[in-house]
Amino acid sequence: MRDWLVHIRRNEHASLQTQIREALVSAILDGQLAREEPIPSTRKMAKSLGVSRNTVVLAYQGLLDDGYLMARERSGYYVAEKALDAVVTPKPIAKPRSEAAGSVDWAARLTMGPSTQANFSKPLDWQTYAYPFIYGQVDHTLFPLAEWRDCSRQALGKKWLGSWTNDTWAHDDPLLVEQIRRRILPRRGIMAADDEILVTLGAQNALYLLTSLLVGPKTRVAMEEPGYPDVRNIFRLQTEHVSLIPVDSQGLTLTEELNAADVVFTTPSHQFPTTVTMPLERRMELLKRAAKHDFIIIEDDYEFETNYVNEPCPALKSLDDEGRVIYVGSLSKTLFPGLRLGFLVAPKEIVAEARALRRLMVRHAPNNNQRTAALFLSLGHHDTLIRRLHRTYRTRWEIMGEALRQYMPDASRVPSFGGTSFWVKGPAHLDSEELGRAATAKGILIEPGRITFGVPDAPRNYYRLAFSSIDEKKIEPGVKLLAGLISPKP
């Protein structure tokens, strides 16, 4: 027996049986085991690995069923001939590529350079930090995993197989569209027909589709400053005419510059990144402006569920009599961002174009996830989760607000009624990127704010402290520790 064939790890993600299968399949397909090579008996393998014989028997049986192994009477198990047969592997003809392989001048061929755009980044292992004040990542302790798994299991059921394995670009999962139309949109005051709703790969995909359709090289776009860097990056791939409109304590300000825009992007529920809410009066005024100066509004209504003080203000879209507002929503903030599900609500002619473009771009959101989310919504798990998140975030918001008052009395914050983060203005001399590096060394993750400004000479003393991914007990000590890193004077 070859000792190296199978290694199992007790604390591994997968069952022992799965690990044995995986190791043997790898060895066969990677050519480490020759055709008809004998495999250790179940007894030997079990003994050598220190696992029960049943475990090995079940793993072998699966491999027999699938044609990886064959059994010979009184002689044991062998690698099945056909396991290597049908999977024909052409021999690589190419020599290893020479170092001189760079005969193509790629830089000259690229029509754009998105990798050079600035953006947020966070360590992949953020969970290992003691005080992760980072934004938009899910708190695993709050997510109803069992319910999600149950919905996923149901969505993968035989009866529904036909409906989700197909390539269906012409329409989205009707169950999910119904849940969005009946359960999510009415809460924002929005009534929409099925053909005014498009399911997207997250809100990000909705913004990309809309920009591709509505923004050309001559289009004038206006957006909030500071604002959402990912949408600014998209706009700047299409046009040089991106106006940055200041934000005050009521969100986007209605400057003269706004009037010249063709398309205006705004986050009225909780302005990104300041989290201020645009009051009803300004919303009405913005709509009047849009009608008078004939511009379109893209409303990104992320985090609309998290308002801890007032009743949530109705969406701009719900106040819009002229069909000028295109609404973008996300399921990432309440489900999980890795799922990539969002939606847009627009006049049906725009939805038809966005659907046709989506076909070329990605076809559609994966059907199994659409169906799982639809079940999760229809069974009320999403509403349960929202209530839980609301309670939890409200508590964290209060704790963090108190901690900021106590430990950073000089830091100013714009008034905030919700969201999942605070936008903090440090002393004028503060460089929040330096602070970020010093904080990281102490196990504290913060988000320096310079990236949210579109101007090159952006202020350096703003930063974001998010509480969606940090345990409430960690908030006060984390803020205290962070405050100690900020020198009071230059």
The 85-114 contact track toward a copy of itself, x by CB under 8 A, reads -xxxxxxxxxxxxx--xxxx-xx-xxxxxx
Cα separation, 226 vs 425, in Å, equals 13
CB of 164 to a copy of itself, least distance (A): 5
Per CB under 8 A, contacts with a copy of itself among 18-37 are: 18, 21-22, 25-26, 28-30
7, 43, 140, 293: which one contacts a copy of itself (CB under 8 A)?
140
Cβ of 113: how many Cβ atoms within 10 Å?
9
CB 421 within 8 A of CB 482: no
**Contacts by residues 76-82 (CB-CB < 8 Å, ≥ 24 positions apart):** 76/38, 76/39, 76/41, 77/38, 77/39, 77/40, 77/41, 78/36, 78/37, 78/38, 78/39, 79/28, 79/33, 79/34, 79/35, 79/36, 79/37, 79/39, 81/35, 81/36
The footprint of a copy of itself on residues 207-246 (CB under 8 A) is: 208, 212-216, 219, 230, 233-234, 237
Near a copy of itself by CB under 8 A: residue from 48, 61, 259, 337: 337
CB of 412 to a copy of itself, least distance (A): 29
- Within 254-273, the residues that bind a copy of itself by CB under 8 A are 262
Instruction: Write out the DSSP string of 369-435.
Output: HHHHHHHHHHTTHHHHHHHHHHHHHHHHHHHHHHHHHHH-TT-EE----BSSEEEEE--TT--HHHH
Rounded to the nearest whole angstrom, what is the least distance from the CB of residue 388 to a copy of itself in the complex?
9
**Least distance between a copy of itself and beta carbon 406 (Å):** 29
Q: Is 145 in the site for a copy of itself (CB under 8 A)?
A: yes
Of residues 161-190, which lie at the interface with a copy of itself (CB under 8 A)?
161-162, 164-168, 170-171, 182-183, 186-190
- Given 224, 300, 320, 447, the residue binding a copy of itself (CB under 8 A): 320
Structure tokens at 170: 């012409």
Measured CA to CA, the distance from residue 52 to residue 29 in angstroms comes to 26
Interface with a copy of itself in residues 53-72 (CB under 8 A): 63, 66-68
Task: Give the x-and-dash track for 352-371 against a copy of itself (CB under 8 A).
Answer: xx-xxx-xxxxxxxxxxx--
Residue 297's SS3 state is strand
Nearer to a copy of itself, 190 or 258 (CB): 190
Instruction: Give the contact letters, 279-318, x = binds to a copy of itself (CB under 8 A), - = no.
Output: ------------x--x-x----------x---xxxx---x
Within residues 404-433, the interface with a copy of itself by CB under 8 A covers: none
Q: Is 437 in the site for a copy of itself (CB under 8 A)?
A: no
Evaluate whether 299 touches 282 at the Cβ level (below 8 Å).
no
**Does the protein bind a copy of itself through residue 441 (CB under 8 A)?**
no
